[in-house]
């Protein structure tokens, strides 16, 4: 059993948005926890609420129109009850975040050094000179050549991969306890993706931060995650250690997700079958669904599924899924 202390505990998180035509329940009752130093992946299709979950942790959701309810306990404090000022001291310091779009996530009119130094000056009270010194150090740490020169450059002078390295440098500058990475490799070339993942893994061991990795890329999950939370339509539908999830997915949605990963060379071995897909679309989050949220697309769905929502049940050791028909295994 994992005996690392729990760092982040999200309980019944609900992030709703008021819109012109009703309330959008982007995240609807999601709970999970992250232990110190652990890497947790949150996976799901576009629009399943995984990014909103990530943004909710740092309270980066504009309120209104957003509304965050539930509790997010971090180091003994409920982040949702903190003042704006207290929240600012956590952002970029104890919890930091990197985003999907390295091309647009850096400020185009400030030097790279200034942007890395900003967190250090904010949270550690460093002088401008000291912060720049440390920024050079951080650039070296994330593998940017000639850091002394790069530190004075602007984002447009860097490639996409380099910019994501800079984002990582910003995120790790204050040695955070938790790093939230929202699709950190999606916008990058495949070769660069591997480099960035390696970098994140290396830095995680040296800095000792826990990582919440938001992604739709199951290859990335298999590569770096220890535990996986699968989200669908604003709800958690399955959670398991990574090996267990890949070997014995319980929820039909997870099974579908794993089945739709293209396999390299499948056309060479004579398998000409179509790529498996999950039929249908994610349901609208604006109406409440009484039964299982996946019922409309599920091959195993029955009338019972449409009528009654399944709760999350322990199906195997450390493995929960929300499905009436997922078989249980002896613990």
Q: Which residues bind other proteins (CB under 8 A)?
A: 58, 60, 88-93, 96-97, 99, 101, 104-110, 118-119, 122-123, 154, 156, 167, 170
User: For residues 30 and 69, what is the distance between their CA atoms, to the nearest angstrom?
Assistant: 11
Residue 59 · residue 68 · CB < 8 Å: yes
Nearer to other proteins, 84 or 303 (CB): 84
For 99, phi then psi, to 5°, come to: -110, 170
Nearer to other proteins, 161 or 256 (CB): 161
CB of 119 to other proteins, least distance (A): 5
CB of 291 to other proteins, least distance (A): 36
Nearer to other proteins, 119 or 255 (CB): 119
Task: Give the other-Cβ count within 10 Å of 118's Cβ.
Answer: 17
- Going 75 to 182 to 40 to 318, the CA torsion angle's sign is positive
210 sits in which H/E element:
strand 210-215
CB of 107 to other proteins, least distance (A): 4
CB of 151 to other proteins, least distance (A): 14
User: For residues 166 and 172, what is the distance between their CA atoms, to the nearest angstrom?
Assistant: 10
Nearer to other proteins, 167 or 240 (CB): 167
The half-sphere exposure of 215 on its side-chain side, counting CA atoms within 13 A, is: 24
CB of 26 to other proteins, least distance (A): 16
Nearer to other proteins, 106 or 323 (CB): 106
């Amino acid at each position: 059993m994992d005996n690392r202390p729990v760092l982040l505990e999200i309980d019944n998180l609900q992030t709703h948005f008021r819109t012109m035509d009703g309330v959008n329940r982007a995240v609807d009752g999601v709970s999970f926890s992250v232990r110190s130093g652990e890497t947790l992946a949150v996976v799901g299709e576009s629009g399943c609420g995984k990014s909103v979950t990530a943004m909710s942790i740092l309270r980066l959701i504009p309120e209104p129109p957003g509304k965050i309810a539930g509790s997010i306990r971090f180091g003994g404090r409920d982040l949702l009850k903190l003042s704006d000022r207290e929240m600012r001291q956590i952002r970029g310091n104890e919890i930091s975040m990197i985003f999907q779009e390295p091309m647009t996530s850096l400020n185009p009119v400030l030097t790279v050094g200034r942007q890395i130094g900003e967190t250090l000056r904010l949270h550690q009270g460093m002088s401008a000179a000291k912060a720049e010194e440390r920024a050079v150090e951080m650039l070296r740490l994330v593998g940017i050549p000639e850091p002394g020169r790069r530190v004075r450059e602007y984002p447009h002078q860097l490639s996409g991969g380099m910019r994501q390295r800079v984002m990582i440098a910003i995120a790790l500058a204050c040695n955070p306890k938790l790093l939230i990475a929202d699709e950190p490799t999606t916008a990058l070339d495949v070769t660069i993706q591997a480099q960035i993942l390696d970098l994140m893994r290396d830095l995680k061991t040296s800095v000792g931060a826990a990582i919440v990795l938001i992604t739709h890329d199951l290859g990335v999950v298999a590569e770096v995650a220890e535990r996986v939370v699968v989200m669908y339509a604003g709800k958690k539908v399955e959670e398991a250690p990574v090996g267990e999830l890949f070997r014995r997915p319980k929820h039909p949605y997870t099974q579908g997700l794993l089945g739709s990963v293209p396999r390299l060379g499948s056309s060479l071995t004579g398998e000409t079958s179509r790529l498996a897909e999950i039929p249908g679309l994610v349901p609208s989050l604006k109406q409440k669904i009484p039964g299982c949220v996946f019922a409309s697309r599920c091959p195993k769905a029955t009338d019972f599924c449409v009528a009654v929502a399944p709760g999350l049940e322990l199906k195997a050791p450390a493995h929960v899924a929300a499905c009436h028909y997922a078989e249980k295994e002896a613990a």
